[in-house]
């Protein structure tokens, strides 16, 4: 019986949800952003806006230059989360192995539940109809079917939007590999593309046929992963709920007030640390690594990652470590974006320390979290967060949380 993996990716998700909620937005170019200011970042653009070149990552100012008639909306995280819950609830009816990849993507393992790719495609068609009928008629999804996770995602990424693309075998995959960019493959960005080009690898077919020993010698274990993916060798599997643990948890904020004032930056940082700590404790986890990162108004940035021997979970501990990086650094320019993340996550334990009582700290933080859960976020706050009510509001992104770019364990990074 063949392995059959389905990857589903909602198209222009945040924008489509907004168009679903407001029929007057349908058929019009829409951009969903983090903030309504000109420096706000576009999180998602509708299919109509994409025709003008408006894409994720652009500033609101540039989006308006490309498409003067674009309708800019501030994002509504609760709206997207509730829609995702309905979609994933629907998907879970088809398999007990559903792995959310992000708020708008998921993998489903259909192996053993269907006998062939033809039967699996019928399920895809049924899912498409059910999403429109039960969740929203304006919501569209690209679906990819294949025998590995990588090829299933590759099929949905490269196939027709709102379509169903099937790659049954490696021969069919090769037909795609010749005609798409290297960066069309999951895990290959612009920098890695340059390194592959230097090796004479200009498309995915070149990568498939490249000697794996040489590739691993040049790129390490990542070289093998890349080669295995395009050769149809499964190096991962669709995970169930019990197997899914985040690799990192973090938050970032694009500054509405760009400044070098460390007292002000510390207030914002404390709020980011509180949001990070809340999520860490909600999942009953502790962290052993912390990454701190910021970017400057005129380009460039700085990041540093810290390793600790003892795990931590309180907002105060996260803040102390993060602020120590900021406090001791001479800022050459105004800060435009601030980010903090924790990684090397482990399940919580109540092991006692010679220096402090972890159990008491846990009980205190649980009491504060319970109050904020009952009466609303930031009902009880640290004094450091005073007058940050409108700063760093609830935001949501497409991908899993990752440490800031360029930050590696135990090192610092300039660019």
Tokens of 325: 């990086």
Q: How far is 183 from 362, CA to CA, in rounded Å?
A: 44
Catalytic residue flag (residue 105):
yes
- Give the DSSP H/E element, type plus range, for residue 344: strand 335-347
Please tell me whether residue 257 adopts helix, strand or coil conformation.
strand
* Distance from C-alpha of 216 to C-alpha of 211, rounded to nearest angstrom: 9
**What is the spatial distance between Cα 226 and Cα 77, in angstroms, rounded to a whole number?**
34
- The residues pairing with 164 across neighbouring beta strands, listed in sequence order, are 143
Q: Which residues of 216-253 are buried (b: 16+ CB within 10 A; e: fewer)?
A: beebeeebbbbbbbbebeeeebbbeeeeeebebbbbbb
Q: Are 147 and 3 in contact (CB under 8 A)?
A: yes
* 3-class DSSP state of 189: coil
Tell me 196's DSSP state: H
**Which residue among 105, 119, 174, 198 is the active-site one?**
105
The DSSP call for residue 115 is S
Q: At what angle do helices 149-158 and 170-177 cross, to 10 degrees?
A: 40
Summary count for the chain: helices (H), strands (E): 14, 13
Nearest to 47 by CA among 162, 179, 166: 162
User: Among positive and negative, which fits the CA dihedral 272, 274, 276, 279?
Assistant: negative
Backbone φ and ψ of 71, nearest 5°? -100, 115
How far is residue 206's CA from residue 204's CA, in Å, rounded to a whole number? 5
Phi, psi of 403 (to 5 degrees): -65, 155
Quote the distance between the C-alpha of residue 156 and its chain's center: 17
Nearest CA to 313 among 374, 380, 267, 363?
A: 363
Active site members: 105
């Amino acid at each position: 019986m063949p392995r059959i993996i389905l990857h589903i990716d909602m198209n222009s998700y945040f924008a489509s949800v907004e168009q679903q909620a407001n029929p007057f937005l349908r058929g019009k170019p829409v951009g969903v952003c983090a903030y309504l200011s000109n420096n706000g970042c576009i999180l998602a653009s509708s299919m109509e806006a994409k025709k003008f070149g408006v894409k994720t990552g652009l500033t609101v100012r540039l989006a308006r230059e490309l498409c003067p008639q674009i309708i800019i909306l501030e994002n509504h995280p609760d709206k997207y989360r509730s829609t995702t819950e309905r979609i994933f609830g629907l998907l879970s009816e088809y398999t007990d192995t559903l792995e959310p990849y992000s708020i708008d993507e998921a993998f489903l393992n259909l192996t053993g539940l269907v006998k062939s790719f033809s039967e699996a495609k019928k399920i895809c068609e049924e899912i498409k109809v059910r999403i429109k009928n039960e969740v929203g008629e304006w919501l569209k999804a690209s679906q990819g079917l294949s025998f590995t996770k990588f090829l299933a995602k590759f099929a949905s990424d490269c196939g027709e939007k709102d379509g169903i693309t099937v790659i049954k075998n490696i021969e069919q995959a090769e037909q795609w590999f010749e005609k798409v960019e290297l960066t069309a493959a999951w895990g290959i960005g612009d920098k890695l593309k340059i390194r592959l080009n230097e090796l004479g690898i200009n498309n995915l077919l070149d990568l498939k046929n490249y000697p794996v020993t040489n590739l691993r010698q040049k790129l390490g274990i990542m070289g093998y992963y890349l080669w295995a993916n395009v050769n149809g060798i499964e190096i991962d599997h669709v995970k169930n709920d019990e197997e899914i643990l985040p690799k990192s948890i973090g938050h970032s904020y694009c500054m509405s007030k760009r400044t070098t004032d460390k007292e002000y930056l510390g207030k914002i940082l404390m709020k980011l640390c509180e949001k990070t700590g809340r999520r860490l404790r909600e999942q009953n986890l502790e962290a052993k690594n912390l990454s701190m990162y910021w970017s400057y108004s005129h380009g460039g940035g700085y990041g540093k990652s810290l390793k600790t021997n003892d795990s931590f979970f309180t907002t105060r501990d996260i803040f102390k470590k993060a602020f120590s990086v900021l406090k001791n650094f001479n800022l050459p320019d105004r800060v435009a974006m601030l980010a903090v993340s924790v990684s090397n996550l482990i399940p919580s334990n109540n092991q006692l320390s010679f220096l402090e009582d972890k159990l008491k700290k846990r009980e205190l933080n649980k009491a504060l979290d319970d109050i904020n859960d009952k009466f609303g976020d930031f009902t009880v706050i640290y004094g450091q967060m005073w007058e940050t009510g409108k700063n760093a509001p609830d935001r949501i992104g497409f991908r899993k949380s990752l440490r800031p770019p360029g930050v590696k364990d135990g090192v610092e990074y300039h660019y």
